[in-house]
Amino acid sequence: MLLIHCPYCAEDRPEVEFTYGGEAHIARPLDPSTLTDVEWEGYLYLRKNTRGDHAERWRHMHGCARYFNAVRNTVTDRIEVTYKAGEARPPEHVAGDAA
């Protein structure tokens, strides 16, 4: 079970308090009515599915209930860093994301 640091509660809490929210930093289309099928496919379905450092969303469901982001290595499952929603991925944790 993962031990996850919630950046809002500033606490390390067990994974069962959290739900997974998938890949992070996927921007919602600003003008959905103008999107092509190819763009919809990319937004809705295509994922990096990174083997390595992966930026992803978590929600502290049974705590503060807020979404935040984490960079986790998907080979070791080690969480490198967590940060608040809306913040950019920390530059020191960008390397290793090949996809």
Binding site residues, another protein, CB under 8 A? 1-2, 15-16, 19-20, 22-23, 37-38, 40-42, 44-51, 54, 56, 72, 74-77, 98-99
Cα separations in angstroms, 49 against 18, 36, 64 = 20, 23, 27
Q: How far is the CB of 31 from another protein (least distance, A)?
A: 19
Helices (H), the chain: 37-44
Quick check: 53 and 80 in contact, CB under 8 A? yes
| Token duo for residue 28 | 């919602």
User: Which is it for strands 67-73 and 79-84: parallel, antiparallel or unpaired?
Assistant: antiparallel
With a CB cutoff of 8 Å and minimum separation 6, the contacts of 3 are 12, 13, 14, 15, 79
Whichever of 13 and 48 has its CB closer to another protein, that residue is 48
Which residue, 42 or 90, has its beta carbon nearer to another protein? Answer: 42
Min. distance of Cβ 49 from another protein in angstroms? Answer: 4
Q: Least CB distance from residue 14 to another protein, whole Å?
A: 8
CB nearer another protein, residue 65 or residue 75: 75
Toward another protein, which CB reaches closer, 2 or 81?
Answer: 2
